[in-house]
Amino acid sequence: MRLSQLPLTTFKEVPAEAEIVSHQLMLRAGLVRRLASGLFTWLPLGLRVLRRVERIVREEMDRAGAFEVSMPVVQPAELWRETGRWDVYGDLLLRIRDRHDRSFCFAPTAEEVVTDLARRELRSYRQLPVTFYQVQTKFRDEIRPRFGIMRAREFVMKDAYSFHLDQASLAETYATMAMTYHRIFTRLGLRFRAVDADGGEIGGSRSQEFHVLADSGEDRIAWCEGDDFAANVELAPALPPTGTRAAPAASLARVATPGARSISEVASLLGVPASTCVKTLVVETDDGGLCALVVRGDHEVNPLKAARVPGIAQPLKLASAERVASELGLPVGFIGPGGLDIRVVADHAAVALVDFICGANESDMHLSGVNWGRDLPEPEAADLRDVVSGDPSPGGGGSLTVARGIEVGHIFQLGNKYSRSMNACVLDQEGREQPMVMGCYGIGITRIVAAAIEQNHDDAGIIWPEPMSPADVTLLVLNPKKVPEVTAAAERLYEELQQAGWSVLFDDRDARPGVKFADADLIGIPHRLVFGERGLRNGKLEYRHRATGEELELELGEVVAALGSRMLPAEV
C-alpha cells in the first residue's frame, strides 16, 4: 500500500471526544472515523486490521469443524415473540417497521434466527452435533456508547451456535470452543484470561468469558496462579475468614464526625484504616420492604451476590435517601447496623470485625469500639462483596490476583431454553422427538482491535501485535524528490518485499522525514525500514523494531532474508 495514494490524515493532538488511549490512537492514526454516536466508518488501514482478525477467527472456527453461514441482519419480531425476548430484551433492541407495518429488529445476537434455521434443517440425531457460525454486523442500542469501537452501537461479532442431542455432546463442543478461543487469542498475540462468568439474561448454565488484560478494562477478573480458579469478580466467591473472632477490647463510644459521610472521610478524620470501619447500605426487599447490608469499609458490595440473598429484590435496588429518611428516620451517610428495625445482613468479613466503627444513625455522629453480640445483635452472615487481590482462592491453591479486563469473547452452554420455546426438535435413536441442546459462542471482532491497542501502545502510538498489524513492514523513503536513485532503489525493494510475501506500507509521500517517522510510530507497524541518500551510497538501510526500539543497519541485498528471520511464524 502506497501512502502517496492513500488519503491518510493523522493528528498530533489528542481528540477531545476520546477518553481512552485506543480510541484516541485509532482516530489519530486514521483507522476509524465517527459517523454518529456509536457508529464508525473503518478507513483502509483500520479495515486491514479488522480483516486480519477475522481471518484468524475464521481459520480457527473452520479448524474446529464449525460451518460458516450468513444470516440476515434484519430479524422478524415473530421469532423474538416465540422466545419471549421481544418483551424482555429492552431498549438495547433497535425495533423497526417495514412498509406493511410489520415489526422487525436489527440483530443484537441471533439465537432466535439460528434456532429457526435448525428446526427447519435438522431432523435426526444423526445430523448432530453441528456448529454454525457467522461474522456479522450487530446492533445494540447501548445506553452509553463510549470508548469508540470498544462499546459501539454497531459492531462486528463472530457468533456461533452449536446443536446437540444431549448435554454430554454439548460439553464436548463447549470444550473444543474454549480451546479454539485460546488458540485465537494466542495467535492474535494478546495477553488474555478465560474466566467463569455470569450467564446474564441469555440463560443457560455454564459460561466463560475471555478477557484481554488492560488497565482500562470495564470488567474486573480474579484468578489464582496456584490452582485453576479464574472468574469474573461478579461471580468469584469470597471465602469467610477462618478462626474465631477475637474478644472485644475497646468500649463503645460516640464520636463526632461532622460532615464525614463516606468511609474515606470518616477513616481519615479518625486516623484509622478503612478496614476497621463498616458501611451500611439500605436496599429493597422483594416484598417491597427494606433491608440493611453491611460490608467492611475497604470492601465493595457485589450487586449480583447481594441480590441472590433470599428475600432481597433482584436486581439489587438501593433504597432512595428520601425513603430511608421518611420510613426509617435515618440520615444517609451516618447509618449503622445498630438499633435498626429492619433485617441486617452482613458480609462474612464484616462479621469477623471487633472494635469497629460505624454510623450512629444520627447526623454527624459515628460509633467506635462497636462489637457484634455485645453492642448489637449478631447479624445474618452472607457473601456480599467483591473479592480483592490477596483474598484466599476458592480453589485452595493460594491467593487471588484481581485485574482489569476487556471482554472480547463469551461462550455459553444454553441447554434447551431456545429449542424448547421454539420447538426445535430432532428424532433420537428411538424415534422420539427431543428438543436440541444448544451452545453459543461470541467474539467481539471490532472490540479486539481496540483491546489490542489498549494493551500495546506507548507515548508515540500503537504497537501492533504482528498477526493483526495493517502491514508487516513499513518502508520509508526520505526526500524522494531530491535523489531519483534513492526512489528507484526503494521502489525495487518495495516490489521485492511484496514478492517475498510481506505486506508493505510504503511511505513514498513527498513529506518531511520528521512527519514520516512520527506517522510510522503512530501507525505502529512492527518493522520499519528507512531508505535515505546516505544509506543508499553505502548500500545500506536502517531497520527499527517498533516494540523494542532495537535498531540495525542492513545490507540492501540481505533485507528480505534478514526480515524473514525476525518475523514470528504465522501459525502457532
Give the footprint of Mg ion on this chain (CB under 5 A): 410
Restricting to residues 455-514, name those near ligand ATP by CB under 6 A.
none
CA–CA gap between residue 486 and residue 499 (Å, rounded):
20
Question: What is the x/- site pattern for ligand ATP, positions 61-100, by CB under 6 A?
Answer: ----------------------------------------
- Position of minimal CB gap to ligand ATP: 444
# residues contacting ligand ATP (CB under 6 A): 15
Residue 140 binds ligand ATP (CB under 6 A): yes
Shortest spacing between CB 409 and ligand ATP, in angstroms: 5
Shortest spacing between CB 359 and ligand ATP, in angstroms: 34
CB-nearer residue toward ligand ATP: 156 or 330? 156
CA–CA gap between residue 139 and residue 157 (Å, rounded):
10
Contact 415, 428 (CB under 8 A): no
Choices 15-23, 394-402, 444-452, 486-494; region in contact with ligand ATP by CB under 6 A: 444-452
CB-nearer residue toward ligand ATP: 449 or 478? 449
Q: Which pairs count as long-range contacts for 82-85, CB under 8 Å and 24+ apart, including other chains?
A: 82/112, 82/421, 82/422, 83/111, 83/112, 83/115, 83/417, 83/418, 83/421, 83/422, 84/421, 85/112
Contact 72, 105 (CB under 8 A): no
Residue 444 binds ligand ATP (CB under 6 A): yes
Question: What is the x/- site pattern for ligand ATP, positions 149-178, by CB under 6 A?
Answer: --xx--x-x---------------------
β strands within 341-483, DSSP E: 343-347, 356-359, 365-370, 380-382, 401-415, 425-427, 433-435, 437-444, 457-458, 461-462, 473-477
**Per-residue b or e along 435-455, where b marks 16 or more CB atoms closer than 10 Å to that residue's CB:** bbbbbbbbbbbbbbbbbbbbb
Query: Three-state DSSP class for 264?
Result: helix
- Percent helix, percent strand, percent coil in the chain, to nearest 5: 30, 30, 40
CA–CA gap between residue 317 and residue 147 (Å, rounded):
27
Select from 111, 407, 507, 519 the one that contacts ligand ATP (CB under 6 A). Answer: 407
Residue 442 binds ligand ATP (CB under 6 A): yes
Shortest spacing between CB 42 and ligand ATP, in angstroms: 13
CB-nearer residue toward Mg ion: 208 or 257? 208
Shortest spacing between CB 200 and Mg ion, in angstroms: 6
CB-based burial of residue 481 (10 Å sphere; 0-12 exposed, 13-18 middle, 19+ buried)? exposed
Residue 187 binds what, of ligand ATP, Mg ion, none (CB under 5 to 8 Å, by partner type)?
none
Residue 155 binds what, of ligand ATP, Mg ion, none (CB under 5 to 8 Å, by partner type)?
ligand ATP
CB-nearer residue toward ligand ATP: 177 or 291? 177
Shortest spacing between CB 243 and ligand ATP, in angstroms: 38
CA–CA gap between residue 279 and residue 379 (Å, rounded):
14
Grid cell for residue 81: 415473540
Tell me which amino acid residue 510 is.
D
Residue 157 binds what, of ligand ATP, Mg ion, none (CB under 5 to 8 Å, by partner type)?
ligand ATP
Select from 59, 141, 142, 380 the one that contacts ligand ATP (CB under 6 A). Answer: 142
Residue 189 binds ligand ATP (CB under 6 A): no
CA–CA gap between residue 567 and residue 572 (Å, rounded):
13
CA–CA gap between residue 515 and residue 533 (Å, rounded):
17
Cα–Cα–Cα angle for 93, 213, 192, nearest 5°? 90
Residue 20 binds ligand ATP (CB under 6 A): no
Select from 410, 509, 516, 527 the one that contacts ligand ATP (CB under 6 A). Answer: 410
CB-nearer residue toward ligand ATP: 403 or 518? 403
CB-nearer residue toward Mg ion: 49 or 408? 408
CB-nearer residue toward ligand ATP: 110 or 281? 110
Query: Three-state DSSP class for 31?
Result: coil
Contact 212, 190 (CB under 8 A): yes
Residues of this chain that interact with ligand ATP (CB under 6 A) are 109, 140, 142, 151-152, 155, 157, 407-410, 442, 444, 446-447
